[in-house]
Chains A and B, each alone.
Chain A
Amino acid sequence: MKKLIIIGCCCLPVLRITAQLKPFKDSLFSKELSEVVVTATRNERKLGNVAVPVSIISQKNIQQAGSLRLKDILQEQPGLFLTSGFGVGVQMQGLNPDYTLILVDGEPLTGRTSGVLDLNRVTTGNIKKIEIVKGPSSSLYGSEALAGVINIITDKSYDKKLNLSARYGTYNSLDANITAAGRIGKAGFSAFLNQYNTDGYSIRPYSVERSKLPVNRTTPHLNINYPFSNKTSLNLSLRYNYEHIKNELAVSNNGQVTYSYGREINKDLNITPTLTHIFSSKFKTQLRLYANRFEGSQKLSTSVGQGYDDYFLQRFYRAENQTDYSLSKRLSFVGGIGYIKEFVNSTRYDSKDSRKENEVSYGFIQAEWQALKNLTFIGGFRYDDNKLYASAFSPKIAGKLTVNNRLSFQASYGRGFKAPDFRQLYLNFTNTSAGSYSVFGALEAQRIIQLMDNAGLIRQFEADYSRLQALKPEYSNGFNAGFTFFPTRKLQWQVNVFRNDIKDLIEARLVATRQDNTQIFSYVNIQRAFTQGIETNIRYVITNSFILNAGYQYLQTADKDELNRLKEGNYYYTRDENNFSVLLKKKDYLGLPNRSPHMATCKLSYEPASQKWFANIRAAYRSKWVVFDKDGNGIYNKQDEFAEGFVQLGSSIGSSLPYGFRIQAGADNILNHVDVNNLPNAPGRTYFITIGYSFINNKSTKNKN
């Protein structure tokens, strides 16, 4: 916190000087700032007018970086770090992947495992842009939008086109895309198909084990738009994702080799009909229906007969109405109501035949008020009434002050929440082998433990047993404040300071011990934590063709209870260089694990005015992060074990060719940084080449593809 205050104080004199600066007649960045974003306010706003931290990744950026999956492009964004374990997740403002909502065209993706939504599942092939909003947005989106929202907006232009592209790369990775769009009468359609195959790879030499498993993925996406009149239109989106993952292992134990053979199949189907009616330029309403079905199965058989069969089916249905109304030029409203019905069947809880369900009814309202010509406020809230757990109230307020076209300030406060998931409510898991233990979901624990106690199986109730009750959602109070400043016409500088205070984090705790000494765990609201830091980005137009983008994030985190015990003293110990016990000093405390205090990204791109070709070089840095409580004191400190910091370097070059062809080649992880244990999802150096062809080669499609 002290450091943040110091940074804040340093900014003040800068601000005093800049307040007297004269505005530019025209800004080189006016095009970017007038780009329309939808995620921050749920209605169309110019990027330069939004009061919360938003960034846009354009289709062009994605393509020029040679990204295939959502993870490829997100790992190059400032302040985002990708986690491994249960697929690739994204850590935003130091918060776990569970707390970032991921939307496709405004609708949530489902099928998280242990809270992680695998970013490999999403192809970038038909992404028009990605909007990233940092800070809590639960006031508009409800559960999970606690750290932020990533909204993937797919290409829905209906201009006639047919594009093909194919990319081949290291590890026999093939990615092919077909995009077709056009109009039949009044109806517009766009169809997309992506096929991705890879053999996977092993970063352990001579191993049959694959660090990244062989995968086949198929994603068709069809979008149809029918305007009944120029005021009423119907849109239908159908998206399907099929994923087939092979997992073959050989484990050698005292000369005895056990072979195992695993298959994971995930099927994800989304249907979204949307009816929009525009009453007038001031009054618009939209009815959205969303049906989502995610089915995942994992089967493993081994040569010694043991194995498992995991099944997970999640169905998510939502009906929502949103109405936008402008009372005057200065005052406008967005309001909505919705209803969610959710079902889960899984062997993870009890059996695949037993259906768990939840219902949520919600309403939200947001007002945008232009108090002065250069001062805008946005305020709103959302209320979610849940059937299974306590209801949630999420307010938000934000303001933006535009001094002139060179300087603007913004600040926001929002409360975010994450509802307990089905696992935390219903899990019924008993490990019968090593150090046998059980984990019961919060809704089941008391009933099961009482049954066991009646049968005389319980030796004792532990202290945390008394905490067992209806789980509350996890809450965060998020603050963001910053400025955008143009020191020269060619340089944009953005700073955002953030703090997220999180409470009621759900944690598995020991609640009872059985007579045979096996332990029983369940989920309780316990932990309080914070993450805080500063993010800064610059964009420098060196020449009209050369552009430099750089970003940096400094992050601090702490478990508040640990921090309090540290301040009180005589609680935590560690070991000195002789391995003798010593008291832990507060300055050695590191907070939450798996977080890098320093992260940076840098990208240099070149594209001549003719746009005939381009080249770029991209770097992402992450400082070392603590991974294991080596001294066994229960918290993370400087004496513990770290994963090595690294720089990931990528480069790509591409050119458009005659007759609608284009070609691109590139390399990723050029420095070949591999870390078998801590970065299992990062392969060594890889290469690729892409060839694309557009049948209809007019100017607009050439630029986009």
Chain B
Amino acid sequence: MKKMNMTLTGLFAAAILLFSSCKKDDADVAIDKTNDGTFKVFTEGNITTVQNLIADTIIGLTPVGQPYGANKFSFFSIENNALVPSSDSATNKWDIAFRGTTIITNAGTSGPGLGGAFVLIGTFDATASVPADSTFYTDTAPLYAIRTGSGKGWYNYDGATNLVTALPGRVIMIRTATGKYAKLEIINYYKKGITPAATAPDNDKLSLQRYYGFRYTFQPNGSKTF
């Protein structure tokens, strides 16, 4: 009996070990990547993905029908993979900030940091380093390092459908507030990462926009290769 108990205890112990080890594996692998419309940050290997970063969503329309928000940037730290409160906007704690289609970096007229950016044509995966002959621009409002305006920087605006599309084949090269480098790709501008159909009602197009989805690779050692 005692022996049996021992065996059972052993089995239990083995089972617990087994289960616990399973649990540990799950925690490593099963990142919840489903885009449910909430703000989420997760890292796989050296790529961090951000979903639904809210960037000054529309709160009303002007009398001539122009949408407007609260005119506030959402600040984000690429080094820490997290949002930064706007009370820290005058510090080196943030690297990149979003307001509507405007993206700023922490330098020049935008902040006290060593930041900067430029837009590279190519794919995210094929961009292995910051090209040697490249120049990082800093913000001199109203002209930003990442140009605003349809087709100039990272997006295209279609006047007929009122849709903002993240241009494919654009990699935003970023210098962080502390002078390190990252490559970033905007994936989508709409909630849940789904651009409304061209034929969707205007209300949907307005209420679902300004939810950034993007991914980036940060090089913490200060070198220009990823």
Contacts and interface: CB of A to CB of B under 8 A. Distances in A.
10 contacts: A570-B122, A572-B169, A579-B188, A581-B171, A628-B161, A629-B165, A633-B167, A633-B169, A634-B156, A678-B199
B213 A579 contact: yes
Most buried by A among B65, B155, B198: B198
Interface string A578-608: 0111111000000000000000000000000
Interface of B: 60-61, 64-66, 122-125, 149, 151, 155-159, 161, 165-171, 185, 187-188, 193, 195, 197-199, 213, 215
Consensus secondary structure, chain A interface: loop
A434 B65 contact: yes
A435 B199 contact: no
B168 A631 contact: yes
A42 interface: no
A554 interface: no
Given A580-B187, A632-B155, A677-B199, A573 B61 contact: no
Contacts of B123: 573, 580-583
Given A580-B185, A630-B198, A575 B64 contact: no
A30 interface: no
A200 B135 CA distance: 60
Contacts of B197: 641
B171 to A, nearest CB: 8
Given A254-B60, A630-B165, A633-B168, A579 B193 contact: yes
Contacts of B185: 580-581
Contacts of A676: 199
Contacts of A678: 199
Nearest to A513: B149
A574 B168 contact: yes
Contacts of A435: 157, 159
The 4 closest A-B pairs by CB, nearest first: A573-B169, A632-B165, A573-B168, A632-B156
A628 B198 contact: yes
A630 B195 contact: yes
Contacts of B125: 580
A280 interface: no
B65 A632 contact: no
Contacts of B65: 253, 433-434
B158 A628 contact: yes
Nearest to A641: B198
A572 to B, nearest CB: 7
B127 to A, nearest CB: 10
A637 to B, nearest CB: 10
A222 interface: no
- The contact size tier of chain A is 20 to 34
A388 interface: no
Contacts of B166: 632
Contact of B66 (A434, A517, A631, A641): A434
A340 interface: no
A97 B69 CA distance: 42
Given A581-B170, A632-B156, A254 B66 contact: no
Contacts of A628: 158, 161, 198
Nearest to A510: B151
Contacts of B60: 254
A81 to B, nearest CB: 19
Contact of B61 (A253, A570, A575, A632): A253
Nearest to B164: A632
Contacts of A629: 156, 158, 165
Contacts of A682: none
B38 to A, nearest CB: 18
Nearest to B167: A632
A627 interface: yes
Contacts of A434: 64-66, 159
Interface in A607-642: 627-634, 641
Given A433-B65, A582-B123, A575 B168 contact: yes
A677 to B, nearest CB: 4
Contacts of B195: 630
Contacts of A584: 168
Contacts of A253: 61, 65
A44 B140 CA distance: 72
Contacts of B168: 573-575, 581-582, 584, 631-633
B66 A433 contact: yes
Contacts of B188: 579
Contacts of A632: 155-156, 158, 165-168
A579 B187 contact: yes
Contacts of B159: 434-435
Given A579-B193, A632-B168, A633-B168, 20 more contacts: A254-B61, A433-B66, A434-B65, A434-B66, A434-B159, A570-B122, A573-B168, A575-B168, A579-B188, A580-B123, A580-B187, A581-B171, A581-B185, A583-B123, A584-B168, A630-B165, A632-B166, A641-B198, A677-B198, A678-B199
Most buried by B among A433, A581, A631: A581
B213 to A, nearest CB: 7
B167 A627 contact: no
B84 to A, nearest CB: 25
A239 B139 CA distance: 65
Contacts of B198: 627-628, 630, 641, 677
Nearest to B160: A628
B124 A581 contact: yes
A435 B64 CA distance: 11
Nearest to B156: A632
Nearest to B35: A579
Contacts of A583: 123, 169
A582 B171 CA distance: 12
Contacts of B161: 628
B134 to A, nearest CB: 17
Contacts of A634: 151, 156
Contacts of B122: 570
Nearest to B202: A253
A570 B121 CA distance: 9
A575 B170 CA distance: 11
Contacts of B170: 573, 581
Nearest to B194: A579
